[in-house]
Amino acid sequence: MKTKNQSNSEYSLKVFHPFTFSIPNGKNEAMRLFTMPLRWMDNDIINLKLENPKDVSTIQILNNMLELRKPEDSIVDFLNAFEEECVRKVEKRGSYEITQPDKNNWALMSPSAGTQTNVDTVGRIFRTHYTNLWWMPDNYPLNLDVEKELLTNQKEIKLIDNHYVKSKKDQAEIITAVTNQIVKEAPNCKHKIVVVYDEIRGLIPSGHKTGYVSVVADAFSKHLNINFRNRNISSFMTSQSISGISKGLLRNNVFTKIFLGAISGDADLDNLRQIYGFSGNDIKKISQLKHYQFLVFGLEDMSTQNQLDNEDFFISPEPSYLHKEPHHKSWESLYRKYYPEKLTDYSQLKREMKQYLNAEIDKHMKQKEDKKKAEEEKQRLDQEAKEKRAELQEEVKGLHQTIKLTKEEEKQKEKEEIFRLYESGMKQYEIAQKFGCKQARISKIISKLRGVKENEGSQTVKSNPQG
């Protein structure tokens, strides 16, 4: 600042950190612990989590469920809605396994349902949020407001810290999600935006990229090549190794200026030869740069070759501007040394977040247990109804048999009465008139019964010869 006759500027610093249960108990550095609304979970995040861009069906279902969810839905609601949709699709083409709801996997209970990636696997991919609980309903109080909290107050530096998040993949998820939102909100910002990324090798690495790394690399390549420029966002990125950064981005001059410090690694030096065509002598000068000296690419008034030819030009910030603490000191130890009065205990917040998570899981455990009990009760009632119907059918069958026998008995009594009247001397036509039928029927009945009586009498004589 002195070399340019400028006065020092003072900026306050606010530290943001995604909520995680990994924050140590006791007092820690003051941080704005934040969560993120589920509406931020875009296609980049889904792809990052699944690490399988070929599983289009699962990705489509997850995106559909995100679109259909209600603003008050939690991540537990979202994953159970995903399960229901998978079950609905599976029921159309076959069976699937049903288990007890798993309290350790979002209360999910249909592990085999799904597409290329089943419900159980998706649940376990999201299982990291049992520790890093940062995807929340849209109106959750801890949600980060990018426009109000990050893109205002030019006198405040906002640091997105994630050092308590243990997984590199989870760290990349946070960086990707927040960066995507900065890009979306940038058009509403009234001043220029500068974003600084420390150690970008994990964001835009060189070589063959697989899994979540490829998703993050694609997203940040797009930001650097297109989005940052279109939205007037400046970026400042650091790396301790040039060989670890995407060669395509370096060759395409995505970075308007590159500050190159002392490099001694063979891989880094080889990359300087390949990308920038430096001679052996130039490479030697670069490897001998002093601490905090830099060769700058992109200066309008002096090329890199002129800088190499005029070593006095190497930019060298004055030591007074640099922190004088030993390099091995950690952020936490320095904070505790210089700001002991700002140390904060997050134990109560961690308890509240744990209660929230358990309540959401217990809600779905109870819903599924109640649903299972209702289904079992329905099955019991259906079985009882089936058995009752069978009993009634048997009763009706018995009644029909009884009615049939009763009618046969009535007919037989009628025939016997006709024969009795005939034997008493009543004429056949008189009997027909009495019973309201034709005489021919009366004659047929009398003839049949006469034969029966005669046959019975004959059998009686044969069985009693003494008579």
pLDDT tens readout for residues 136-164: 999 999 999 999 999 988 889 999 999 99
Give the H or E element holding residue 307: helix 304-309
Structure-model confidence comparison of residues 11 and 158, the more confident one: 158
This prediction has a pTM of: 0.76
Is 391's pLDDT higher than 80? yes
Confidence bin at 344 (pLDDT 50/70/90): very high
Write out the two tokens for 54: 């070929």
- In the block, tokens 């150690």 appear at 199
Q: Give me the DSSP letters along 376-390.
A: HHHHHHHHHHHHHHH
> Hey, what are 233's tokens?
């966002």
Residue 21 in this model has a pLDDT that exceeds 90: yes
Amino acid in the structure at residue 310 = N
Q: What is the pLDDT of residues 48-83, one digit of tens each?
A: 999 988 889 899 999 999 999 999 999 999 999 999
